[in-house]
Amino acid sequence: MDKLSISHLARRAIRFRRVMMILLLAVATTTLFLAVNETAAESDVYFDTDGFLQSAVKQTTLGEGCRHFIEAALEPGKNNIDAAVSQNPAKKTDTAIPMLVHFLYYNQQFTYPRYLCAVESAARQNPNHHIIVWAANPAEFNLATNTWQLNSQLVAAGRVSVRQLDWPLMMTGTPLEAWLTSGAYKESKWVDQNLGNAFRLAVVYQQGGVYLDMDIISMNPLSGSMGRSLGMQDKDAMNNAFLRFPAADPFLWAAMEEFVSGFNGNVWGKNGPEVITRTYKKRCRSKPPSDFCNGVNIAPVQRFYPFGYKQKQNMFEPWEDQCEVMQSMADESIGIHWWNRRVKSIETMSNRTVLAVVMKAHCPALFSAYTEQQLGMNPSASFGAPALLVEDPELMKPKPSKK
């Protein structure tokens, strides 16, 4: 056999080995794919959000309000809701508010995936806004949420960015700077919580836009005729879980001054929601009110707190029995605050509760990235508020100070 024939046979042998390797790899990949999907089918691990919405809206026995809720969720970003009519008219030169939504995650480890529903729902409802997550450990946050990021494509599309949380940088040049550098923030039972309460005021003052807590699920857009806005959590008190202002707004400066002058690290709520309430009462209900109060809208309770702190157990009722509530949220709520301080301690809730269905409807990528079990939901769990939640003391009520 000549050298040419030997060379030809050698090339054919190499090609044959390559083909066999490709076939073996394909078989192995297919086997793995089938095994994974068989396991998923057996345990029903991932929730088919789109299938749930489509099938729910076709149920002939579903109440009209529940059907309306589902239909609204299938078309995010369409229902613009006003905050409220301000007590004082806005100036014609009112500063434009940047299309930014700020979230804060101050833990080093990301262990609570339900929080991603806040980010995802805000992005879905507000396609013209940029979403920023200020994270204490951006690298770990990105790693822990990688599957959700791939499924949602929000980060890849430039809609969401995760940035380094830097307390001193954001508070420099504000009334909070001296409070931070003095170390006064350390005199507290809840150091990170109080730093977070300060940071939200500073970041909106420095950059403008909207601040939302990570336990607020966006139900409707943040646009509408909202202007400079605060939110009522009940008939007597405001909350700092939602803020909407332009950069360098004097109301936020006054709120930071109030934060520092009234700081008490041992009284829950005093440095958070109560700061907003105190600032508004002192500066905007005085006679005459401060000029910067002109045009500050006060969003009514239904806009962000359809479940008040004392009524939070209602979120654990069967959603099909709460169709009037579901319709009201779809039509009148910009977001719902679900009081994570207590709810996150509940390991498992029924996947048919009001809260679970709201999450399913507004956060499809979340449910494609995590199993229901990972999100603390279980089809066999009973309805109603867990005993831990029912017996919970009112944490928003001020506690006696140790000072």
Alpha carbon 244 to its chain centroid, in Å, reads 15
User: What are the DSSP calls for 214-229, one per residue?
Assistant: TTEEE-S-S-SS--EE
185 burial level (CB within 10 Å; 0-12, 13-18, 19+): buried
Per-residue pLDDT reduced to its tens digit, 244-291? 999 999 999 999 999 999 999 988 889 999 999 999 999 999 889 999
Whether 32 has a pLDDT exceeding 80, the answer reads no
* pLDDT at residue 182, rounded to an integer: 97
- 158-169: average pLDDT: 97
Amino acid found at 151 = N
Q: φ, ψ for residue 223 (rounded to 5)? A: -80, -125
| pTM exceeding the 0.85 threshold for the entire prediction | no
CA dist list (Å): 176 to 193, 247, 275, 279? 15, 16, 13, 15
Per-residue pLDDT reduced to its tens digit, 176-206? 999 999 999 999 989 999 999 999 999 999 9
- 317-345: average pLDDT: 90
- 105-133: average pLDDT: 96
Q: Which of 206, 196, 134 has the alpha carbon at shortest distance from 172?
A: 206
What number of helices (H) and strands (E) belong to the chain?
A: 17, 11
Q: Which of 294, 270, 205, 193 has the alpha carbon at shortest distance from 244?
A: 205
Per-residue pLDDT reduced to its tens digit, 280-315? 999 999 889 999 999 999 999 999 999 987 777 789
Which helix (H) or strand (E) segment is 151 a member of? helix 146-152
Q: Which residue has the higher pLDDT, 314 or 134?
A: 134
* pLDDT at residue 77, rounded to an integer: 93
Residue whose structure tokens are 């939110």: 231
Strands 377-378 and 349-350 turn out to be parallel
- 342-366: average pLDDT: 86
Percent of the chain residues past pLDDT 70, beyond the cut? 77
380 burial level (CB within 10 Å; 0-12, 13-18, 19+): exposed
CB of 326 closer than 8 Å to CB of 65 = yes
Which helix (H) or strand (E) segment is 131 a member of? strand 130-135
The domain 52-390 is classified under which CATH number: 2.60.120, 3.90.550, 3.30.70, 3.40.50? 3.90.550
Give me the residue spans of the domains in the chain. 52-390
